[in-house]
Structure formats: C-alpha cells, structure tokens
Amino acid sequence: MVQTSFIRQNWQILWRNQSQILVGLLCLLHLIPIWGFTFIPTQDGISHVYNSYILKEWNNPDYTKFHQVYDLNLTFFPNWSNYAFFYLALHIVSPLIAEKIYVSICVLLFPFSFYYLLTAINKRLRIFSLLGFLYSYNYLLQMGFYNFTLAFPLCLISIGYWWKYKACLSITRVAVLNLLIIGTYFSHFGPFTMLVFTLTFFAFVHFLEHLPDWQNSLRKSLSFFGYMVPVFFILVNTVLKNPETLYPEKWLERHKSNQFSHYLPWTELWNNFLKVESLVYFNDSYIIVSKILLIFICLCIMWTIIERIHQKQVFRSQDVFLFLSIILVVLYFKLPWRHGSPGWINPRINLFIFPVLLGWFVVPKSLWFRKILVGMMLLMTLWHLGLTIRDYHLLNKDMKEFMAGTELIRPDSSVSLLETASEVLGAEHHGPIKYLSPFYHGACYYCFENGSHYVGNYEPKYHYFPLHYKNGNWKFKYVNDITDYVITWRASDQHPDVKSIKRDYKLIYQTENLKLYQHSASRLD
C-alpha cells in the first residue's frame, strides 16, 4: 500500500513537470549530432576555428608562414564573437572540442530565444517555443555561419527584452538592452541591423498606438531614441566606413566580377520560400518537414483570424509582429542574394520570417487543438532531427576518409586543395550533397597542431575578419614559396590539373577518394 502511494506521488510529480522533462529530453536529443560524431559537417565552420588557431599561434616562432601571408586586423568589426570564443577555448581544448562546445551553445540558444521572446509577448505563446528546436539545426548553421547563428537568437532575446520592459525601462534595463544589442553587433551585422530596425519600427508603432496621449507618447519616443543613440551611431558608422560600399569598383576588380549585387530569379525565390529554405540542407529529404511547417503555419494563421473576428478585435499590440513578418517577406523577394561580399541574404531573412510571425498568433483555448499543435511541432522537430543525425552519421564516414592523411603534414607547411579537379559536393556514403560542401574547407583540418598555412583560406579576403592577406597572397594563391602539399578529393587521374601537379608532386597517401601529394622540393628539405 505504501509502495503504491509512493509510485502514485512520483507519477504526479512527473506529470506536473512534464513540460520541463520534455524540454530537457529535447535538449539532450539535439546534442546527439554534435557529440555523437567526430566531425560537424559544415562548409565554413572549420575555417572560423582555423583562423582563431592562427591568432592563438601568431607569436609562435616555429610557425613562420602566418606572418608571411597575413596581417592582423584587430579592429572593432562585426564577426568577433566566435573568434573570441575559439581563441580562448583553443588554449584549453582541441579544435574539434572547441567547435562542439560553440555549436552546442548555438543549438540550445535557439529554443531558449524562442521561449524568451514568446513569453515576453504573451505567456500563452510559450507553446510555440517548441519550434525553436526545429530551427536549431538550419541551413545557415550547416553553412558554418557561426557568428550569424549566434547573433540570431541574441536578436530574438533582445527583442523580447525590449518588449517585456518597454513600458518601464530603467537605467539598468537600458544598460542591459544596449549590452544585448552590442553583443548582437559583435556576432553579426545582419541580425544587428534586423534588431535595430525592429526596435525602431516597434517604437514608432507604439507611438502611433498611444497618439491620443501624445505628450506621454512623445516623451517615451524621445527616451527611446535617446538610449538608442549609441546603437544608431554604430549602425551608421559601420555602413559609412564599409570599404566595399565606398569603393565598389575596387571590389569588382579584386574579385574579378562584373556584378556587385546578384539577384536570384523570382521563381527560384518563390520555390525556396515554399520549401522554407532555411531548414533545408545536404539534400531535399528535409523538404517534407518544411511542407508540414507550412501547413502548421497556415492552421495557426486561420485560427488567429477566426479568433480575431470572433473577438471583434481591430488592433492589438501584438499585430506589429504580423506587420514585421510582412515586411520581411517583401525584403526576402526584393533584396539581392549577394551585395558585394555579404551573401546568402535571402536565406538569412527567411530564417526570421516564421519565428517573428509566432508573436502574432492566438493560442487556441481548446485542449485538443493545442495537443494537435504540440503533436505537429514534435513530429517536425524529431523528424528533422532524425534526418540530421542520419546525414551526420553518413557524412562523418566520408569526412574521416577526407581527414585520413592529416598526420603526414610536417610542421610549418603549406597545404591546398586542388579545387578545380575535386568533386567537393560528392560523398561515397552520403551520396550527392546538394546545398553545401563539408569538404570544401576540410583542408583546414590538415593545418591544426602543426602551424601550417591553408592556401584556400577565404576569410582574409574580406575586411570584416581578423586576418588580412598581404604581399600578393590571396585565396588559392601562395606567392611566398611552393605549396608543400596538395589534396584531391574524388578527382579523376585524367583531369588536366591532376596530370599537371604530378610533374612536381609525388603521391604519398591515398584512399578510394582521397589523394595527398607532396612537392618534390619539400621532400628534400
């Protein structure tokens, strides 16, 4: 009898805490792709870790090539957050572990930011924070845009903080808000711009909403612009001092391009919008989850409209989230895919649209309807996660083969990928990769712990990274000396570029898809 009572009490405790248990379980499940495999298969992510490694080893006298190729660019530009983290972490843990810790923070910040924003708007909206888990693995993360992936949740948290305290912003809260905004800036300029625009737009709508009490409304608006002065200054200063904006002709000449801005066709943008491109990566198997998300969003929109008609509500403060979503949709179709070097603009905007729209929804009072919504969110989240785990598992098999020759690199060497001959979108176990390549900058792995220079390093080309090329060096162009090692991936021996390097390079290691060549002069050193 006592044992039955004990079991009943524990069951009641578990039932009361079912939401916390569910969230905790989802957090653990979403760490499986990161910690369950050796590599995180992103395209550019490892480049950020590698350039942080260069900063860490900058004063190491045994590594001479870094000073030959790069100048430091230690100025206050956006994109500093992941470099600061990796620079410190690499003094304690290995590059792979440092990357795993950082990505874990980003992945878990997504559901937290959804929860914080939606709770600040209306506690009943917390039910939709489960979608944060669906968004935690996204196309921008898999592209390796680590700073953007951190800035996105910081942006949502900042919006939520302002919304929560907009009626009573004390000096302390203003300071916290500015710190959040500046933290977003040092992570990525895109979400920072989105954040400044959003807060300004909300403040303007808030002013119009309370126009009958215009004196008090004007006072609050002036107060808003007063505490946002530092933020506006940072925004304007960054735009005006952008060398690409000031001298677009130099950018075009240096990048051998005749087009400063590149726009995607409307039909391609529409197709990408319908498949929610920000949630699709590696292959098209993720699109079915996106279709379910569209059905989910449509159900919520219809329910919200019906409830608003039933309640005869003309306007409520949460409607600004609908207006903001509409603005984002317009920007998604109007803005270029690339403007100068900043690219992937449309997918970045796409990532914001539905999370922002959640703030406008009305939560149904019907228990069965809420259960349907929770069920759909769990279905999407677990399905999407399952596809991600599957692809991480398969890609890790291919990436282990790609990294198989890392131990053969001698210290202070130069390493390059024969890009023109390598099939960087191909993988033996995973099969074709459609939207990104985890092998494109995989040669960075060959340069850790030995102070070697990766000749294909793309970041120093741009002004918003901590290293700059010097003395005529450029991406896939090393002018100081020979390139000691060349990697090919899934390259045919009959390719002209492969035949060409064999005159000066000798094959020292190979697998079915990988070949590692060493320069004959380097072998004589």
Closest by alpha carbon to 175, among 213, 128, 231? 231
pLDDT for the residue numbered 248: 85
pLDDT for the residue numbered 3: 56
pLDDT for the residue numbered 15: 46
pLDDT band for position 11 (50/70/90)?
Answer: very low
CA dihedral 281, 282, 288, 289 (to 10 degrees): -50
Would you say residue 29 has pLDDT above 50? yes
Question: Is residue 155 classed as helix, strand or coil in its secondary structure?
Answer: helix
The CA distance from 481 to 24, in Å, is 53
pLDDT for the residue numbered 345: 97
How far, in whole angstroms, is CA 411 from its chain's centroid? 32
The string of DSSP codes covering 278-336 is GG--SSGGGHHHHHHHHHHHHHHHHHHHHHHHHHT----TTHHHHHHHHHHHHHHHHS-
User: Domain limits of the chain?
Assistant: 24-392
Question: Is residue 489 classed as helix, strand or coil in its secondary structure?
Answer: strand
pLDDT band for position 523 (50/70/90)?
Answer: low
Helix (H) or strand (E) holding 261: strand 261-262
Question: Is residue 339 classed as helix, strand or coil in its secondary structure?
Answer: strand
CB atoms within 10 A of CB 183: 17
Average pLDDT value for residue range 376-402 = 98
Question: Is residue 340 classed as helix, strand or coil in its secondary structure?
Answer: coil
pLDDT band for position 147 (50/70/90)?
Answer: very high
Instruction: Report helix, strand and coil shares of the chain as percent, to nearest 5.
Output: 65, 5, 30
Task: Among 119-133, 218-232, 233-247, name the most confident range.
Answer: 119-133
Closest by alpha carbon to 296, among 375, 350, 367, 386? 375
Two tokens at 54?
A: 């260069």
> What does pLDDT average to over the chain?
93
pLDDT for the residue numbered 16: 55
Indicate yes or no: pTM above 0.85. yes
CB atoms within 10 A of CB 472: 10
The CA distance from 117 to 160, in Å, is 4
pLDDT band for position 245 (50/70/90)?
Answer: confident
Two tokens at 513?
A: 């898809």
Would you say residue 75 has pLDDT above 80? yes
pLDDT for the residue numbered 244: 83
Judged on CB neighbours under 10 Å (0-12, 13-18, 19+), 225 is exposed
Would you say residue 14 has pLDDT above 50? no
